[in-house]
Amino acid sequence: MTAKIRFRLPPTAAYVLVAAVIGLALFASATPTPLYDIYRADWHFSTLVLTLVYAVYPIGVLTALLTAGRISDDLGRRPVIALALLGLIAASVLFSVADSVGWLFAARAVQGVTTGLALGAAGAALLDLHPRRDGQNAGLVNGVVSAAGLGAGAIVAALLAQYAPDPLLTPFLVLLGLLAIALAGALAMPEPVAHTTRPRLSVQPPRVPPATRAPFVLAALGVLSSWSVGGVYLALGPSLAAGLLHTDNLVAGGAAVLALCLPAAVAQLVANGVEPGRAAAFGSLVLAVGMGLTAAAVTSGSAVLFLGTTAVTGVGFGVAFLGALRSLTAAVPEHSRAEVMSAFYVACYSSLAVPAIAAGLVVSHLGLEPTFRIFTGAVAVLALGVAAAAWRRARTPLAVSTAAG
């Protein structure tokens, strides 16, 4: 009896697929961002409720990372990535049929949990499947697709919601099509984990092997400044851009996120040759300058200046994130890749969630522009501190030698 032969993607195609899964997970997370003003107008809920809807997503991501962060080290990359994509499909269906704010909470919760699964497993698979086993190059790819996915999700959803029929359905139908293609690819990818075991699900703090702790600290510093900026922009950027442009066109909100994320993606490609520690320090410094300029642009009331200074901030965002990822991925041990990448994303989403949720709570009391100025100032000070700390750590022999290994 002849064994049934199943089609498997070649290694290079599988590598491209898992990179696309990372980008697509962040694309999906940004898709609802330009639509929140429509939901709020239709269902008449407060800014506080909107903030809570936003908060459910990073809480879901963190829950998945803290309970199932290493699950793909045990169960294998392919089944976990496929399960995560099925969850993202379920979340998109929930968004598509939503008729009250309760549905938004459910959709964002499912989206958050399954994004956490996707990022941990796909980030580890990216290291497994790299054609030259080059961890730093895998870190570059991870950073570029993350920033590009976030920006693309926001602008594509805004364009579809503004110009296509049924603004609360069409963006999710497009997303469903992309997720279905990715799921078919995930089912056909080779399994890079040679020995699988029974998965262990339990709440546990992020754990990083001792040999990886120095580059992990450097990575966490870069993420602390870069993703804090992302949190402020995702929470306040779309509404602020619409106000400065004096328009209710949804593309304005998508453009604000794209103005941050597109330069971030391009900057990572340009700065690829910079040593990771110096990239984290330099990127955080540019972030601080960009946030200061952006606060000044908001005070001036100029939408052009706002978008231009946002692009400067995006350059810093990209380079700081690149330095963070490359310093870590070059040092991750093979046997705990999903666990370490999950710990990294815990740092990412903690940095994203705290300023975004805090800004959402404060804006109802102070107003949009004062809140944005306060938070840009706070993040700029944080980024300066991170730049100094990253520079000092990058110059220590332990950090440099470990990051290079």
- Positions in the chain short of pLDDT 70: 1-6, 69, 135, 196, 199-206, 330, 394-405
| Predicted local confidence at residue 396, as pLDDT | 63
Structure token digits, residue 103: 């549905």
Decide if 197 is inside a domain.
no
- Residue 214 pLDDT: 78
What is the H or E stretch that residue 285 is in? helix 276-300
Identity of the amino acid at 194: A
Encoded amino acid at 237, one letter:
G
Are the C-beta atoms of 310 and 259 separated by less than 8 Å?
Answer: yes
d(Cα 149, Cα 157) in Å, to the nearest integer? Answer: 12
Residue 318 lies in a domain: yes
Q: What CATH number corresponds to the domain at position 334?
A: 1.20.1250.20
As a whole number of angstroms, the distance between CA 141 and CA 160 comes to 27
* 2 found inside a domain: no
pLDDT of 405 reads: 34
Tabulate helix, strand, coil % of the chain (nearest 5).
Answer: 80, 0, 20
Placement of tokens 């040999």 in the chain: 211
Token pair 């392919």 is at which residue?
Answer: 78
Q: Model's pTM, two decimal places?
A: 0.85
Give the closest residue to 29 by CA, choosing from 257, 188, 244: 257
Residue 384 structural domain = 11-191+209-404
> Are 72 and 336 in contact, with CB atoms under 8 Å apart?
no
**Which pLDDT score is estimated for 200?**
65
Cα separation, 241 vs 256, whole angstroms: 6
Of 285, 12, 302, 15, which Cα lies nearest the Cα of 141?
Answer: 15
Tell me the H-state helices in 164-275.
170-188, 213-245, 251-270
> How many structural domains is the chain composed of?
1
C-alpha R_g of the chain: 20
Answer whether residue 85 is part of any domain: yes
Burial class (CB in 10 A: 0-12, 13-18, 19+), 264: buried
**Contact indicator for 289, 379 with CB cutoff of 8 Å:** no
Residue 255 lies in a domain: yes
